Amino acid sequence: MGDPPREIVAMLTRSASDWNRGDLAGFMSDYANDSLTSYVSGGHVQYGWQALYDRYQKNYFAPGKSRDSLAFDEVRVRTLTPDFAYATARFWLVRGRSVVASGPFTLVLQRQGNRWRILHDHTSADPKP
């Protein structure tokens, strides 16, 4: 049933494009829209699609905020079953020519219908120089 690694890489490529166009709804469409969707970063756990949407809206998409350009690389996908996979990669947020944030992340994904959705996102920040 398809090629999960290729499909997930394509999803992440589109997700970064959505972010860079200012399309938060498109970016968030990759996350499972339920109360158990989890996000771990900076020693904190957050549950729920809406809470994650609100976090991104406040921190990155609020009016007047300068939104940095998002890119992913070093994507590696491991298929666990036909409908479950995990991916590791790195994110880069760039403003002009300066990297403002970067780091590794791990996603747990589930195929829901004809799409992969993120069930869990654990993102770490690289240490500041």
Q: Which residues contact 30 (CB under 8 A, 6 or more apart)?
A: 11, 15, 115, 116, 117, 118
Q: Beta 98-112 vs 84-95: how paired, if at all?
A: antiparallel
> What share of the chain has pLDDT > 90, as a percent?
84
User: Whose structure tokens read 């990759």?
Assistant: 30
* 2-35 tens-digit pLDDT: 899 999 999 999 999 999 999 999 999 999 999 9
Q: Which residues contact 43 (CB under 8 A, 6 or more apart)?
A: none
Check residue 63 and give its pLDDT.
85
Check residue 129 and give its pLDDT.
67
Check residue 23 and give its pLDDT.
94
